Amino acid sequence: MQEINAVVAGAGIWGCTIARRLAEAGRKVLVIDSRPAVGGNVRCEIDPETGIEIHSYGSHIFHTHDDQVWNFIRRFTEFNGYQHKVLAHHNGKNYFLPLGLTLINKFFGTELSPSEVSSFMKDERHSTALFDAFFRGYTSKQWGKPPESIDPGIIRRVPVRENYDINYFNDYNQGIPLRGYNSLFENLLDHPGITVECNRPYKLGDFPGVKVFYSGPIDRLFDYRYGELPWRSLRFKTERLNITDYQGTSVVNYPDIDVPYTRIHEFKHYHPEDKAVMAKTQTIIMREYPANWKKGDEPYYPISNEQSLALADKYKEEAAKIPNLVIGGRLGEYKYFDMDQAMAAALKIVI
């Protein structure tokens, strides 16, 4: 192995962005990951029978309004122009999310104009009805809480669109990498100054005197000496169906409490430009089930409360005492990041 003067432990969005910046600054970088391949939870698989790109850890759509992030990522991938649209299946009917005129008028059987939405939503009967239909059950399943404990006031904090825009994200830059997410990570790490080793976890003290950028679980780094940070996890059930199209879009939410899963993903819709894949008389769907987390499971969503944040701060204080150690990413910071937020944070790190 060539001599190294920087180590990146964790090859997700944050880690791979850091690695590329280090290499372009003239550093010799070793990227390690405990998994057998790079990409973190954005890792995908190409189904050999259909050519469908399967998002192994649930759907990922890159979207951002940060021009620095957009300009950086487009150095390594071309995007296909996909615009994310999400349906919610409630009580046997499909509604376009997010909360806007399209959903409100269909749900209530009205024909409101944009100027009428605000006063209509101030009526507690209307806001409560929407909360019960689209938020109460979904949130309860997502966070493992009984429906009664979910605050109806949430609906008043959800942005309501006073128009018919059914794009799920407000970000004007969005899409799926044209050649797939795996190619994005391959391109980020394709630099003569970068060496990659998978199936190699990081432990404190592994690289004495070398600066380490770590994005794994911060409590695991310290062998859980103060206890485990709490997370919510997910499990997935994938099915191959002998039909051309199952649900007509990439994601449908299932907010009703009597449905055990929260979403169904249909991956072929992420590449509408691939006419051969779209025409296949097979499709692949994935049901997403929220799950309790225990050590050894994949952590997805940090459970942010007073106790967990205090515990995370305790681990961060320990990390700050260690020379040449930089902590970041979703697992390291105990904070949920969208992909563009993770990349933006990596672009701000002093290397």
Is the pLDDT at 1 greater than 60? The verdict is: no
CATH number for the domain harbouring residue 322: 3.40.50.720
**Catalytic residue at 75?**
no
Say if 335 falls within a structural domain.
yes
Pick from 157, 174, 207: which residue ends a domain? 157
pLDDT at 197: 98
Pick from 142, 157, 172: which residue ends a domain? 157
Say if 221 falls within a structural domain.
yes
Catalytic residue among 21, 43, 136, 161: 161
**Catalytic residue at 157?**
yes
Q: Round to whole Å and give the CA distance between 325 and 332.
A: 11
Q: Round to whole Å and give the CA distance between 235 and 250.
A: 18
Catalytic residue among 47, 263, 334, 340: 263
**Catalytic residue at 27?**
no
pLDDT tens figures, 106-115: 999 999 999 9
Average pLDDT over residues 65-79: 98
User: How many domains, the chain?
Assistant: 2
Average pLDDT over residues 46-53: 97
Residues 153 and 108 in one domain: yes
Residues 18 and 122 in one domain: no
Domain range holding 147?
A: 97-157
Average pLDDT over residues 11-35: 98
- pTM of this prediction exceeds 0.85: yes
Say if 118 falls within a structural domain.
yes
pLDDT at 9: 98
DSSP label of 202: -
Q: Round to whole Å and give the CA distance between 269 and 252.
A: 12
Residues 206 and 318 in one domain: yes
Q: Which of 55, 64, 300, 48 is nearest to 181 (CA)?
A: 55
Q: Where are the beta strands (DSSP E) in the chain?
A: 6-9, 29-32, 44-46, 53-55, 62-64, 86-90, 93-97, 173-175, 194-197, 211-214, 231-241, 251-253, 263-266, 283-292, 301-302, 325-327
Is the pLDDT at 194 greater than 70? The verdict is: yes
pLDDT at 145: 85
Average pLDDT over residues 17-35: 98
Residues 134 and 33 in one domain: no
Which residue in the block uniquely carries the two structure tokens 């101030």?
122
pLDDT at 17: 98
Residues 104 and 218 in one domain: no
Residues 107 and 216 in one domain: no
Residues 148 and 107 in one domain: yes
CB-count burial class (<10 Å; 0-12, 13-18, 19+) for 180: middle
Say if 277 falls within a structural domain.
no
Confidence of residue 2 (pLDDT cuts 50, 70, 90): low
Distance of CA 154 to the CA centre of its chain: 22
Catalytic residue among 288, 318, 333, 340: 288
Say if 168 falls within a structural domain.
no
**Catalytic residue at 240?**
no
pLDDT tens figures, 109-132: 999 999 999 999 999 999 999 999
Q: Round to whole Å and give the CA distance between 57 and 55.
A: 6
pLDDT at 206: 96
Q: Which of 222, 238, 270, 317 is nearest to 63 (CA)?
A: 270
Handedness of CA 286, 12, 214, 309 (dihedral sign): negative
Is the pLDDT at 224 greater than 70? The verdict is: yes
**Catalytic residue at 288?**
yes
**Catalytic residue at 223?**
no
Pick from 157, 172, 202: which residue ends a domain? 157
Q: Which of 40, 98, 57, 47 is nearest to 286 (CA)?
A: 57
Catalytic residue among 232, 261, 289, 300: 232
**Catalytic residue at 330?**
no
Residues 148 and 101 in one domain: yes
Say if 107 falls within a structural domain.
yes
Strands of the 29-32 sheet, one edge to the other: 194-197, 29-32, 6-9, 211-214, 325-327
pLDDT at 154: 64
Residues 211 and 340 in one domain: yes
pLDDT tens figures, 134-168: 999 999 999 998 877 776 666 666 678 999 999 99
pLDDT tens figures, 273-330: 999 999 999 999 999 999 999 999 999 999 989 999 999 999 999 999 999 999 999 9
Say if 59 falls within a structural domain.
no
pLDDT tens figures, 209-220: 999 999 999 999
Is the pLDDT at 183 greater than 90? The verdict is: yes
How high does pLDDT run on average in the chain? 95
Q: Round to whole Å and give the CA distance between 67 and 64.
A: 8
C-alpha distance across the termini of the chain, in Å: 22
Look up residue 283 and give its two tokens. 């499709």
pLDDT at 141: 95
Residues 323 and 215 in one domain: yes
Say if 261 falls within a structural domain.
no
Residues 324 and 202 in one domain: yes
Confidence of residue 32 (pLDDT cuts 50, 70, 90): very high
Catalytic residue among 67, 111, 157, 317: 157
Residues 217 and 340 in one domain: yes
Q: What percent of the chain has pLDDT over 90?
A: 93
Give the Cα-Cα-Cα angle 286, 290, 294 (nearest 5 degrees): 120
